[in-house]
Amino acid sequence: MKIIILGLVLFFSMQLISAASEKTAIIYKNEACGHCTPYLEKLLPLLEQKGYAPIVKDFINSQEARRELSELQQKFNVPLQYQGHMLVYIDGKYLFEGHVPVQVVEKYLSTPIEIPVILFQDSMGEAKTYFQIKDGKAVEYLVDDASKILADHLANQIETAGISSQTQLPNWFFPLMIFAIPLGLLVKYGR
């Protein structure tokens, strides 16, 4: 009986860990934009390489996608002038409006940040700069300086949380504990 219970606990804890660490990427694009497809040809392989299965939605031909897009922009308080013709929404915290340079997106995906980040770049060609939107204002950064803004975000995240980065626990930790503690008690005191 203990083996069956142990198996069930392990199965469900793995399901919770998987759900807690699931990566999401939704791309809202304008089908009429001739520059979005070449941009996505660069972005999609990066997202797949990082473990995402991106969902692409055409908001021009889908009323539901337009509603979702509008709700996201309202939730993140994106001013109208910074709402791009394409939006990439990643892990519930990154909002990339327009054609944010792929190398900048890659730096964000490689550096865990838990605070919401809104970046904007609506240029159709190779951009040298991009903007971070914070409190309704845009701050311009060079693409080559993406590491600087990431360092600022990490410092802000630590300051906001009031903890050091070494004390942050992975998002799968608490679901695992929900099952690990009863399992330990069952093993120690079980019948």
Q: Is residue 14 part of a domain?
A: no
Write the DSSP assignment of 43-82 as a string of letters.
HHHHHHHTT---EEEESSS-HHHHHHHHHHHHHTT--GGG
Phi, psi of 15 (to 5 degrees): -65, -45
Instruction: Give residue 65's domain range.
Output: 21-186
Model confidence at 53: pLDDT above 70? yes
Q: Is residue 162 part of a domain?
A: yes
Q: Is residue 2 part of a domain?
A: no
CATH of the domain at 157: 3.40.30.10
> pTM higher than 0.75, yes or no?
no
CB atoms within 10 A of CB 20: 14
Most confident listed range (76-80, 107-111, 178-182): 76-80
* CA gap 93, 43 in Å, rounded: 18
Phi, psi of 7 (to 5 degrees): -60, -45
Q: Is residue 39 part of a domain?
A: yes
Q: In this predicted structure, what is the pLDDT of residue 140?
A: 84
Q: In this predicted structure, what is the pLDDT of residue 44?
A: 96
> If DSSP states are collapsed to H, E and C, what string results for 131-146?
EEEECCEEEEEEHHHH
How many domains is the chain partitioned into structurally?
1
Phi, psi of 66 (to 5 degrees): -65, -40
Q: Is residue 173 part of a domain?
A: yes
CB 120, CB 82: distance < 8 Å: yes
Q: Stretch 123-135: mean pLDDT, rounded? A: 79
- Tell me what percent of the chain is helix, strand and coil, each rounded to the nearest 5: 50, 20, 30
CB 20, CB 175: distance < 8 Å: yes
178 vs 62, which has greater pLDDT?
A: 62
Phi, psi of 98 (to 5 degrees): 80, -145
Q: In this predicted structure, what is the pLDDT of residue 48?
A: 96
Q: In this predicted structure, what is the pLDDT of residue 26?
A: 96
